[in-house]
Amino acid sequence: QVQLVESGGGLVQAGGSLKLSCAASGRTFSNYAMGWFRQAPGKEREFVATISSRGATTNYADSVKGRFTISRDNAKNTVYLQMNSLKPEDTAVYYCAAKVGGPMSTAYSYMYWGQGTQVTVSS
């Protein structure tokens, strides 16, 4: 079992920045690829970013490429999502997730999920 707890969400004006954190506990964190997903009201959960177990490989949704950065600190069992130039359409609940194997953009590939943290971007 891997337990994931997200933090860092909040209310920010358009153009602002937020940094989300996801702290993991349980199994060996460095064995897992990590992903960030988000879900806005009335919409399906969508992929945001993913990072390989050692941090060598990252991938982003086109909608966030160039604005968001995913990173991880395996010594701290934590994955981060730095979000810059935020837009109102980034408003959603953000979830981190863990999977064995390589980084993937499909939600069904991930075995463990956090409870989510709300990000609200005002115009």
Task: For residue 56, report the phi and psi dihedrals to the nearest 5 degrees.
Answer: -80, -25
Task: For residue 48, report the phi and psi dihedrals to the nearest 5 degrees.
Answer: -115, -55
Between CA 68 and CA 81 the distance in angstroms is 7
pLDDT tens-digit profile of 72-90?
A: 999 999 999 999 999 999 9
Position 121 pLDDT exceeds 90: yes
Task: For residue 65, report the phi and psi dihedrals to the nearest 5 degrees.
Answer: -60, 130
Residue with tokens 């981060």: 80
Q: What's the chain's average pLDDT?
A: 96
Which residues lie below 8 Å from residue 74, measured CB to CB, with a gap of 6+? 29, 30, 54, 55
Q: Of 46, 41, 45, 72, which Cα lies nearest the Cα of 58?
A: 72
pLDDT tens-digit profile of 12-39?
A: 999 999 999 999 998 899 999 999 999 9
pLDDT for 1 equals 86
